[in-house]
Amino acid sequence: MKGTLKVDGKNPEATIRSLFARWLKESKLSAVLAPAYSTAGTATVALVSDPEKLSEAAPLLPAMGVNSASIVAEIAREASPNAKVGLFLRPCELRAVVELMKLKQVAPESLLLIGVDCPGTYKAAGFRNVRGKDADFDNRHVREQSGYAENVNFRTACQMCEYPKPLVFDLNVGFVGMDPDKELWIEAATDKGKALLEGVELDAQDEPQKRKQALEKLSAARKARTAARIEELDKAMMGPEKLVEYFADCLNCHNCMKVCPVCYCRECFFDSDTFQRDIAEHVRVSLRKGATRMPSETLLFHLTRMNHMMASCVQCGICEDSCPVTIGLATLFKKVSQNAQKEFDYVSGRSLDEPLPLVTFRESEFLKIGEG
Amino acid sequence: MGQTKTSTPKVGAVLVVGGGIGGVQSALDLADSGYKVYLVDRAPAIGGIMAMLDKTFPTNDCSMCILSPKLVAAGRHKDIELMTLTEVLGVEGEPGAFKVRLKRHARSVDLSKCTGCGDCLTKCPVRDLPNEFEGGLSNRRAIYRLYAQAVPNAPTIDRAHCLKFQKDKCGACQKACKAGAIDYTQQDEEIVIDVGSVVVTAGSKVAPTSLRPEYGHGRYPNVVSSLEFERILSASGPYSGHVQRPSDGKAPKKVAWLQCVGSRDDSVERGYCSAMCCMYAVKEAVITREHSSEVEPTVFYMDMRSYGKDFDKYVDRAEQQYGVRLVRARVPEIREDPDTHNLTLRYASDAGSFTEEFDMVVLSCGFVPPPELVDLGKRLDFELNRYGFAATDAWAPTQTSRAGVSVAGSFSQPMAIPETVTGASGAAAAAEEILAAERGSMVKESSVPTENDVRGEAPRIGVFVCHCGINIGGVVRVPEVVEFARTLPHVVYAEENLYSCSGDTQDKIKDRIREHRLNRVVVASCSPRTHEPLFQSTVAEAGLNPHLFAMANIRDQCSWVHMKEPDKATAKAKDLVKMAAARALRLKALPKVKLPVTKAGLVVGGGIAGMTAALALAGEGFDAFLVERDKELGGNARDIPKTVEGDDVRKRLKDLADKVSAHPRIRTFFNTRIKAIDGFVGNYQTTLQSEGGGERKEESLKHGVVVVATGAQYRTPTEYGYGQSPSIVTQKELEEMLEEIKRPRDRAKPGQALDPLIPRSLDPSSVGSVVMIQCVGSRDEERPYCSRICCTEAVKNALAIKELNPDADVYVLYRDIRTYGMREEYYRQARQKGVVFIRYSPQTRPDVRIVDGKPVVAVNDPILGRAIELQPDILALSSGIVPQSGSEELAQMLKVPLNSDGFFLEAHMKLRPVDFATEGVFMAGLCHFPKFIDEATAQAQAAASRAATVLSRDTLEAEATVANVDPTRCSACHMCEGLCAYHAIEVKTINERTGKQAAVVNEALCKGCGACAANCRSLAIDICGFQAENIGREIAALLD
């Protein structure tokens, strides 16, 4: 089921809010998880259950402080028959939720995946200043971004993102290639999604050609930009010495791991006492080289994280935003995960049915690495 | 079976004659099931022909890599006595109590002293003797080892060429042997042993190329036999794996294989098909291409007999991917250019007559029982067929004419490795049935003392550094390594040994453990692959847990590869010892987990395979539950009146069913399906659901193993006008019709309707002409496999028609006639009786029209070179065999795989043909792949034999090196579940109250392979004995 939804008062954000209100009132959803402004005007996320409180939700808020999949992992590890939570999420967040579902870290039964187009976001930190006093900022952003308008102030990862439209969703709200002051593009992909649309007045039609072209153009531009960024990265990082240098500023704070939506271990091995050595051993290692860098094992931490995450990484880049010493993690993880997933013909979060790369195999894979 | 009355007490031991892969399989099955085994071979080492092969089809596995572990297992088994260089002189007595006279030839090397170090081999001055193992393409000395990985690994002196024996001088080998193992005084001896049963797995030999002198083998250097070519391909062969011409050592470009040398050839009294040559030739061609993409391989063949599981796919790949050229032509003769030694072949194919030059020609020799085996058959006193193979019956394919003596492998007829292994297990089951009550009566009890608890003790490490004669000591300065070891933390004792593995050193190590209260042992010597089990049992005999042992390989990975750099090799040996000591420091005793066994088997499916398996299990002394979803036993065979050999199938089937219902240990369930199967090897619990009298009943059974024998089904054709004319029938229906005609009128049951499509008024004279079309729904895109039995079915029916009406015209439209093995005889008879065989290809499939209700068949005749049209009275379609319905459900319940065609997939195509990768589950019959009655019977017996290796135990001992989950770390992501090939790990709720989930390892199923541990992102899984932390410390030790 797909078609256009009329927008009232040139306010797409309010139109989406009224959809939320309808679903909560009709008890189709018991709560909605969506972006929201704090009283101080900073970007955050809220779980809203009272239709009266919906003014708190700002579904089109263009800033990202966390990947909300992390929140989903926290609240929806197990299903509950009493809860039906609508996740109003960006494409990269939905993709992370899909990966977490495949990794059995999120139970799908109580959740509805409601996506929204996202051509890019600002960092949550400092976003208050970007927005200023503009109450219509979100709608203005959507208006600007409905055609392709590259914004160098977007988060690094966003500037390389080729998925402005969610890949897996029950229902999606689209504005790319549309005139968002007049209409939004609504698409239900599953029975759950179709049920939400019952009673909603849609002008049923095929996806407009203009929207398809706009999405394609955006993807193509982003792919080109990604290639250029990775080329730059290669110069800065390839080779063992350069790699060490790339991570040289690392404080070993592990923030990148803590905010990563698909880094799902209960306790990170690197936070455990496995790497704790007594002073005698530290001195012994130091004696071997004369001097050792402290804190130690930072490179091993990053390499291990890369190794563990490359198959499921959704390239949201939230790791880079959280790095206090601004190590270029977004481009690095983009490169590593993109290359690794290509080898397995896999795209993280593309489908719930595709098996995770490491739990399956094809008879003919990696022939060039095998014998002979 | 095996109920012979005997006054003499039965003996719980079995003689296995022949140590090829078949004999080794029989011996291992028997020994693992509680019997003492004497494994006798004439050669100085076991291994047989398989040890000579390079790779194996259709998986291209390295032959030695898959065989060697079995040889080592047989060589080390406490209940297998290897008797090499030994011949059987005679067998007297009766089943249960035979006296066997053996002649043991002198090896001139004392097996109890020889460590296999090989020092003697390099000292022998006689170096130009042709190496028979290498097809004479390289030389050996007078003291020699049959092949590098030989079991036993001790060399043998060829007395006919040894200077000591011939001229009483030299003695170089004795001087070289530091172990004092060379014994020139050994004598041949005659010995007598008591056994309860005999299994003959003596194999066959490659047909001598002298059968086809016109091919010039022996005269033309670049004409080699297929077995010689296997050695040429082998990395351990005469040319170290470089494919080259014997004449000049140059790499050949054009290589030809000539099929059917000594096979399908009545002129040399070898009328049968050798069954495996098509596949091995295609494999050799493929492997040759893998060696060099420059090579252009061509195989000249008559019919491509790729009738086995995945064989057609292999041949297709060979053609399409590897560019192997297949030419259907018999080459009459080879000529050699005496200057270049190139070879010219003249041949005629469909495309015309050709002359083509090749650089090398391989003769695909068939298999024959050589005179010495014919002689063996006579000495063992059982019947041989006219070719000299052991005569057997399709319904007891492992039974010779002499009770108590069974046979398996290519001594009964030419067969490839999987059939040999299957038969070998089947023959073991036959032996067990005779000796069910004697199980366990002659096995050695392992006498391991109580284990010392070393927990809480400070580590006390002992290090033993081996010289391995001069293998290590000639390069590495061993005393220096010992001195160094003494300086390592917690090492309280270190010494050097000439041979750490020799019997006296083993005793010494035990003494040292006691004297110095060692609680960790390091041996620095050779490969843990061959020697770790030995040292582990040594430390266990001294009261240490076997996992408190660490090994450093300072031979294969040090002295052998750094022969010219003694300083660096010595330094490396020290590092390796340091690492092993660091590992030893943190080793923990691993407990043995024992699990009980329910001594009963569940057999799913009551066809021939299922009934045979149930009978064999019961005969071995175990309870069998036979579950059949139909209302009666018999399966597909109920529809087969006769075999091509003329057996009355229905009568034999009734005998079998009667035996099943009479057997007190078999409980049969009719109209019953499996609802659920839970548990694991030794401990299954199955819920059955039966229907009868309008009622549904459920029953729960406990059993230790499962045999899947669910069969397959005939495919109903959808092509060639089937269903549109009563004259178009399947082969099966044609056979029914022919039976009906032959049946005397008064015995025909009125009202017993055959298929309404079948013209019932058929009488012999009306069968004027019959056309048969082969490969209907087989070997096509949808079903890219050969149904294996249809060619023989067609030949059987063609012969029956000719018998009814010798003037009938019978045309068989075929792609390749695949009457492999002894079935070739019937193909020959059919041609003799005038049955016309017309070949078609996938591009020239016959065309069937229906005119006036009768079929008209148009086909291109490649011999006439034009299209012909036939108007038969009957058109019979050889419609293939498809997997059984419900296979997928059962596979899911058992967590076992199906192959892409939908047949059950065995653990290993060559060496584990009846096992699943999941332990305790076995398969037999057509559920595995289409096959004949004798093959299904052998497989069913084999499944019972494999099952006995589980059911004969009171408890199963789980591996100690299993995965171990730290539930506090586990994120329950289920990754490990998907990765585990053995279904040994599963995420479960481990705390009902909190709902906490974590992966749980089933220690009975875990093999400790480590796939789960390597992939666990939360690092929650470790392999006992190989903890990540230990490995880290080991590496740290190297870097320190």
Per DSSP, B621 falls in state T
DSSP letter string over A86-152?
A: EEEE-HHHHHHHHHHHHTTSS-GGGEEEEEE--S--EESTTHHHHHTT-TTHHHHHHHHHTS----T
The C-alpha angle B455, B459, B461, rounded to 5 degrees, equals: 130
Residues A250-301 pLDDT 10s: 999 999 999 999 999 988 888 887 777 788 878 877 887 788 888 878 898 9
Range of the domain at A275: 239-359
Residues A27 and A134 in one domain: yes
Question: What is residue B764's predicted lDDT score, i.e. its pLDDT?
Answer: 54
Does some domain include residue A365?
no
Question: What is residue B751's predicted lDDT score, i.e. its pLDDT?
Answer: 43
Q: What's at B904, amino acid-wise? A: F
Confidence of residue B755 (pLDDT cuts 50, 70, 90): very low
Question: What is residue B746's predicted lDDT score, i.e. its pLDDT?
Answer: 39
Write down the CATH number for the domain with range B9-105+188-204+369-443: 3.50.50.60
Does some domain include residue A367?
no
Closest CA in chain A for residue B293: A372
| Number of domains making up chain A | 2
Q: Which of B290, B978, B1018 sits opposite A372 (nearest CB)?
A: B290
Question: What is residue B400's predicted lDDT score, i.e. its pLDDT?
Answer: 96
Question: What is residue B695's predicted lDDT score, i.e. its pLDDT?
Answer: 85
Does some domain include residue A264?
yes
Interface of A with B (CB under 8 A): 78, 103-105, 264-267, 269, 272, 274, 284, 288, 308, 355-356, 358-360, 372
Residues A68 and A157 in one domain: yes
Burial of A359 (0-12, 13-18, 19+ CB in 10 A): middle
Average pLDDT, chain B: 93
CA distances in angstroms from B902 to B43, B712, B882, B915, listed in the order given: 42, 10, 8, 17
Instruction: For the beta carbon of residue B297, count every other beta carbon within 10 angstroms.
Output: 26
Confidence of residue B890 (pLDDT cuts 50, 70, 90): very high
Residues A248 and A341 in one domain: yes
Domain boundary among A191, A224, A257: A224
Contacting B residues, span 918-977, partner chain A, CB-CB under 8 Å:
968-975, 977
Beta bridge partners of B215: none
Between 3.10.590, 3.30.70, 3.40.1280, 3.90.580, what CATH number should domain B106-187 receive?
Answer: 3.30.70
Instruction: Tell whether B294 is within 8 A of chain A (Cβ).
Output: no
Question: What is residue A131's predicted lDDT score, i.e. its pLDDT?
Answer: 92
Which bin fits A72, alpha (ψ -120 to 50), beta or left (φ > 0)?
alpha
Does some domain include residue A311?
yes
Cβ atoms of A155 and A317 within 8 Å: the answer is yes
Question: What is residue A193's predicted lDDT score, i.e. its pLDDT?
Answer: 96
Percentage of chain B modeled with pLDDT above 90 = 82
Between 3.40.50.40, 3.30.470.10, 3.40.190.10, 3.50.50.60, what CATH number should domain B206-368 receive?
Answer: 3.50.50.60
**Range in A184-193, B137-146, B585-594, B605-614 the model is least confident about:** B585-594
User: What is the separation, in whole angstroms, between the first and last Cα of chain B?
Assistant: 68
Residues A108 and A16 in one domain: yes
**In chain A, which residues have their Cβ closer than 8 Å to the Cβ of B1040?**
284, 288
At residue A93, does pLDDT exceed 70?
A: yes
The residue with greater pLDDT, B670 or B471, is B670
Domain B716-882 class in CATH = alpha beta
Residues A346 and A296 in one domain: yes
Helix B566-585 to helix B478-486 angle (10° resolution) is: 30
Q: Which of A265, A274, A360 sits opposite B978 (nearest CB)?
A: A360
Judge: B968–A266 Cβ closer than 8 Å, yes or no: yes
**In chain B, which residues have their Cβ closer than 8 Å to the Cβ of A103?**
971, 973-975
pTM: 0.82
Asked if the domains B9-105+188-204+369-443 and B461-585 are classified in one and the same CATH topology, the answer is no
Cβ atoms of B454 and B433 within 8 Å: the answer is no
**Among B684, B705, B604, which Cα is nearest to B946's?**
B705
Q: Which of B971, B1029, B1039 sits opposite A105 (nearest CB)?
A: B971
What's the CA gap between A345 and A356, in Å, rounded? 11
**In chain B, which residues have their Cβ closer than 8 Å to the Cβ of A308?**
1017
Question: What is residue B748's predicted lDDT score, i.e. its pLDDT?
Answer: 39
Judge: A356–B975 Cβ closer than 8 Å, yes or no: yes
How large is the average pLDDT for residues A100-120? Answer: 96
Q: What are phi and psi of A298, to 5 degrees?
A: -70, -40
Instruction: Tell whether B1017 is within 8 A of chain A (Cβ).
Output: yes
Residues B366-387 pLDDT 10s: 999 988 888 999 999 999 999 9
User: What is the separation, in whole angstroms, between the first and last Cα of chain A?
Assistant: 52
What's the CA gap between B329 and B353, in Å, rounded? 10
Question: What is residue A367's predicted lDDT score, i.e. its pLDDT?
Answer: 72
Question: What is residue B743's predicted lDDT score, i.e. its pLDDT?
Answer: 60
What's the CA gap between A154 and B729, in Å, rounded? 73
How large is the average pLDDT for residues B166-175? Answer: 94
Does some domain include residue A91?
yes
Judge: A265–B969 Cβ closer than 8 Å, yes or no: yes
- Annotated domain spans of chain B: 9-105+188-204+369-443, 106-187, 206-368, 461-585, 596-711+892-956, 716-882, 962-1023
Chain A interface mutation, best of B60, B62, B291, B1017, highest count of A Cβ atoms under 10 Å: B1017
Please list, in sequence order, all residues whose beta carbon lies within 8 angstroms of the beta carbon of residue B959, skipping any fewer than 6 positions away: B1003, B1006, B1007, B1008
CA distances in angstroms from B545 to B73, B455, B580, B592, listed in the order given: 21, 11, 17, 10
**Chain B nearest C-alpha distance from A53 (Å):** 34
Domain boundary among A224, A251, A270: A224
Cβ atoms of B275 and B821 within 8 Å: the answer is yes
Residues B950-997 pLDDT 10s: 999 999 988 889 999 999 999 999 999 989 988 899 999 999 999 899
**Chain A nearest C-alpha distance from B549 (Å):** 24
Per DSSP, B309 falls in state T
Average pLDDT, chain A: 92
Residues A186 and A44 in one domain: yes
Q: Which CATH architecture has domain B461-585?
A: 3-Layer(aba) Sandwich (3.40)
**In chain A, which residues have their Cβ closer than 8 Å to the Cβ of B983?**
none
Beta bridge partners of B771: B811, B875
Residues A182 and A243 in one domain: no
At residue B805, does pLDDT exceed 90?
A: no
Domain B596-711+892-956 class in CATH = alpha beta
Confidence of residue A85 (pLDDT cuts 50, 70, 90): very high
Question: What is residue B593's predicted lDDT score, i.e. its pLDDT?
Answer: 82
* Helix (H), strand (E) at residue B988: strand B985-991
At residue B934, does pLDDT exceed 90?
A: yes
Q: Which of A78, A288, A358 sits opposite B979 (nearest CB)?
A: A358
Residues B825-854 pLDDT 10s: 999 999 999 999 999 999 999 999 999 989
Residues A76 and A40 in one domain: yes
Judge: B973–A359 Cβ closer than 8 Å, yes or no: no
Question: What is residue B759's predicted lDDT score, i.e. its pLDDT?
Answer: 47
**In chain B, which residues have their Cβ closer than 8 Å to the Cβ of A284?**
1040
**Chain B nearest C-alpha distance from A103 (Å):** 5
Closest CA in chain A for residue B60: A371
**Chain B nearest C-alpha distance from A323 (Å):** 22
Residues A323 and A243 in one domain: yes
At residue B745, does pLDDT exceed 70?
A: no
Residues B674-724 pLDDT 10s: 999 999 999 999 999 998 878 889 999 999 999 999 999 999 999 999 999
**Chain B nearest C-alpha distance from A100 (Å):** 9
How large is the average pLDDT for residues B532-554? Answer: 94
The total number of residues shown for chain B amounts to 1040
Question: What is residue B623's predicted lDDT score, i.e. its pLDDT?
Answer: 98
How large is the average pLDDT for residues A105-109? Answer: 95
- Half-sphere exposure in the Cβ direction for B60 (13 Å, CA): 16
Does some domain include residue A297?
yes
Domain boundary among A172, A194, A224: A224
Question: What is residue B2's predicted lDDT score, i.e. its pLDDT?
Answer: 46
Residues B429-488 pLDDT 10s: 999 999 999 999 999 987 778 889 998 999 999 999 999 888 899 999 999 999 999 999
Chain B interface mutation, best of A257, A359, A360, A363, highest count of B Cβ atoms under 10 Å: A359
DSSP letter string over B260-277?
A: EETSSBGGGTB-S--SSH
How large is the average pLDDT for residues A48-71? Answer: 93
Write down the CATH number for the domain with range B962-1023: 3.30.70.20
**SS3 at position B408:** coil
